[in-house]
């Protein structure tokens, strides 16, 4: 039994309270993000805050001014949307997806949430966990490592089961994780399959063939395939390889405004068959009444003007592509291939660093870097659901390529010093 201490008594806390009040990997990431963005001198190479791209911040400022002038922003601020979210946005987004990709969808295939983190909390606990017949269903993550924010999202413990990847070594000190379809834990107790594309933390972009195989597996078992496209296609399109969005009525596609440069808007988007979006609408009503209105108002205007895809392809994707290439160049200047391998960057805005022979683990390296004002994210937080211990999980760090190259240079120089110092002492 678990208690909180108050000034006058011990307060008993529920099992739910015990699970969701403990300090977790995602809590540490967000604390570091907050501290790193505000602490003088800190080099923020952790977290997932998007870049303030001048063309985008200028565009959003002008858009807000226009919406204020015509009264649409006031309407968004002063009125509730429905529990499904802004109905005009749902109509316009469905029309855009029909026109661009030929998907057979309408407004009832779309529901909004207060950020994609909320969407996945809903979906994981809708499809996984305990059922009325006493069974406990799990969510399969076919390619570990996966997003740190999934780890503690289940109301029940042990919600996830993960596939251990194959590691393909590539020239230039690069490597790539690939799904090992021969060893996937395809038990009868699965409630859904979930992948992020590009994968957070590694930037891996699953191919269309891999998604098709996963979709076939899901269809055979009568379970949905969840695709987390927070960084991917259709938008924001931070992908550096060929990637076409895939959807059918057994796929649940989740997007977000955060990586468009609007994380404070807290707007997630779910595209799924109407039974699922109706369930999300009901959960919104019970948990938060309705999604926020500001993000949907902005996105709706971007779609109405025809600006969304243009800005993604002409501004956002090229910015992150260039910043990723520059960061990899800086890294290689300070750390040779034999000390640090890098996952092939295929999208998002992270580099996933692997130190195969490092004498200390990822948490110790993280601690040493933090003492010197450099914030990255320990890799071991990104492996929820693996059934067996794997040394590799303690050999990686995730770094963000958003800061200016001069800041990245400062941070990677310190990283190289700490890695070389650890090797020298072993």
**Residue (of 255, 260, 272) closest to 113 by Cα position:** 255
Contact 139, 190 (CB under 8 A): yes
305 phi/psi in degrees, rounded to 5: -85, -10
Number of domains in the chain: 2
pLDDT digits (tens, 9 = 90+) for 110-132: 999 999 999 999 999 999 999 99
Mean per-residue pLDDT over the chain, rounded: 93
Full domain range(s) for residue 380: 24-56+311-425
In a domain? residue 351 = yes
Q: Residue 243 sits in a domain of what CATH number?
A: 3.40.640.10
> What CA–CA distance (Å, rounded) separates 81 from 290?
6
The average pLDDT across 81-96 equals 97
> What CA–CA distance (Å, rounded) separates 54 from 287?
36
**Residue (of 235, 254, 234, 236) closest to 244 by Cα position:** 234
In a domain? residue 74 = no
Quick one: DSSP state of residue 314? Answer: I
pTM of the model: 0.93
Q: Residue 41: which pLDDT band, with cuts at 50, 70 and 90? A: confident
Same domain, 244 and 377: no
The average pLDDT across 189-197 equals 97
Q: Residue 341 sits in a domain of what CATH number?
A: 3.90.1150.10
| Crossing angle of helices 294-305 and 54-69, rounded to 10° | 100
Same domain, 271 and 161: yes
Same domain, 319 and 368: yes
Same domain, 336 and 322: yes
Q: What is the 3-state composition of the chain as percent helix, strand, coil, each rounded to the nearest 5?
A: 45, 20, 35
CA 409 to chain centre: 25
Same domain, 338 and 296: no
Same domain, 262 and 214: yes
> What CA–CA distance (Å, rounded) separates 76 from 53?
25
Percent residues over pLDDT 70 in the chain: 92
In a domain? residue 348 = yes
In a domain? residue 14 = no
Domain boundary among 282, 306, 330: 306
In a domain? residue 50 = yes
Q: Where are the alpha helices (DSSP H) in 39-132?
A: 54-69, 72-78, 87-101, 116-127
In a domain? residue 99 = yes
In a domain? residue 315 = yes
Same domain, 274 and 331: no
Rounded-to-10 torsion of CA 407, 331, 398, 211:
120
**Residue (of 92, 99, 72) closest to 305 by Cα position:** 92
| C-alpha to C-alpha distances, 132 to 14, 128, 135, 137, 154, nearest whole angstrom | 21, 12, 7, 11, 17
All residues at 6 or more sequence positions from 234 whose CB lies less than 8 Å from its CB, including other chains: 97, 100, 101, 245, 255, 309
**Residue (of 340, 312, 354, 345) closest to 327 by Cα position:** 345
Q: Residue 324 above 80 pLDDT? A: yes
**Residue (of 246, 235, 242) closest to 315 by Cα position:** 235
Same domain, 275 and 353: no
Q: Residue 35: its pLDDT value, please?
A: 63
Domain boundary among 306, 337, 353: 306
Q: Residue 425: its pLDDT value, please?
A: 83
Q: Three-class SS of residue 375?
A: strand
Same domain, 300 and 421: no
Q: Residue 4: its pLDDT value, please?
A: 52
Domain boundary among 306, 335, 354: 306
Place of tokens 């966990």: 129
Same domain, 211 and 231: yes
**Residue (of 361, 348, 371) closest to 396 by Cα position:** 361
Q: Residue 29: its pLDDT value, please?
A: 58
In a domain? residue 18 = no
Same domain, 146 and 207: yes
Quick one: DSSP state of residue 338? Answer: T
pLDDT digits (tens, 9 = 90+) for 393-426: 999 999 999 999 999 999 999 999 999 999 998 7
Same domain, 147 and 217: yes
pLDDT digits (tens, 9 = 90+) for 260-317: 999 999 999 999 999 999 999 999 999 999 999 999 999 999 999 999 999 999 999 9
pLDDT digits (tens, 9 = 90+) for 220-253: 999 999 999 999 999 999 999 999 999 999 999 9
Contact 237, 316 (CB under 8 A): yes
């Amino acid at each position: 039994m678990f208690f909180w201490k108050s000034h006058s008594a011990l307060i008993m806390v529920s099992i739910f309270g015990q699970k969701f009040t403990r300090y977790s990997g995602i809590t540490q990431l967000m604390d570091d993000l907050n501290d790193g963005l505000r602490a003088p001198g800190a080099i923020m190479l952790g977290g997932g805050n998007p870049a303030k791209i001048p063309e985008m911040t200028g565009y959003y400022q002008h858009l807000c001014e226009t919406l204020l002038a015509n009264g649409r922003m006031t309407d968004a601020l002063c009125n509730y949307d429905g529990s499904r979210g802004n109905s005009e946005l749902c109509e316009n987004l469905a029309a855009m997806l029909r026109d661009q990709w030929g998907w057979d969808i309408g407004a009832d295939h779309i529901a909004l949430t207060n950020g994609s983190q909320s969407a996945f909390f809903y979906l994981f606990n809708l499809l996984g966990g305990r059922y009325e017949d006493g069974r406990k269903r799990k969510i399969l993550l076919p390619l570990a490592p996966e997003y740190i924010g999934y780890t503690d999202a289940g109301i029940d413990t042990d919600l996830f089961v993960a596939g251990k990847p194959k590691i393909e070594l590539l020239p230039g000190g690069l490597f790539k994780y690939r799904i090992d379809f021969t060893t996937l834990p395809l038990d009868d107790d699965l409630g859904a399959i979930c992948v992020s594309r590009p994968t957070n933390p590694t930037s891996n972009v699953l191919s269309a063939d891999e998604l098709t195989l996963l979709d076939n597996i899901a269809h055979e078992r009568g379970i949905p395939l969840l695709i987390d496209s927070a960084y991917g296609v259709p938008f924001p399109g931070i992908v550096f390889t060929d990637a076409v969005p895939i959807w059918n009525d057994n796929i649940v596609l989740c997007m977000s405004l955060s990586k468009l440069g609007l994380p404070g808007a807290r707007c997630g988007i779910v595209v799924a068959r109407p039974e699922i979006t109706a369930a999300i609408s009901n959960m919104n009503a019970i948990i938060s009444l309705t999604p926020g209105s500001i993000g949907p108002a902005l996105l709706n205007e971007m779609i109405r003007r025809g600006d969304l895809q243009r800005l993604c392809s002409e501004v956002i994707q090229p910015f992150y592509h260039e910043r990723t290439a520059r960061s990899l160049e800086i890294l290689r200047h300070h750390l040779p291939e034999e000390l640090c391998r890098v996952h092939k960057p295929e999208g998002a805005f992270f580099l996933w660093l692997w130190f195969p022979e490092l004498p200390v683990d990822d948490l110790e390296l993280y601690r040493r870097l933090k003492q010197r004002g450099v914030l990255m994210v320990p890799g071991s937080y990104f492996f929820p659901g693996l059934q067996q211990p794997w040394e590799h999980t303690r050999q990686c760090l995730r770094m963000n390529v958003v800061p200016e190259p001069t800041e990245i240079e400062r941070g990677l120089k310190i990283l190289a010093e700490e890695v070389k110092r650890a090797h020298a002492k072993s």
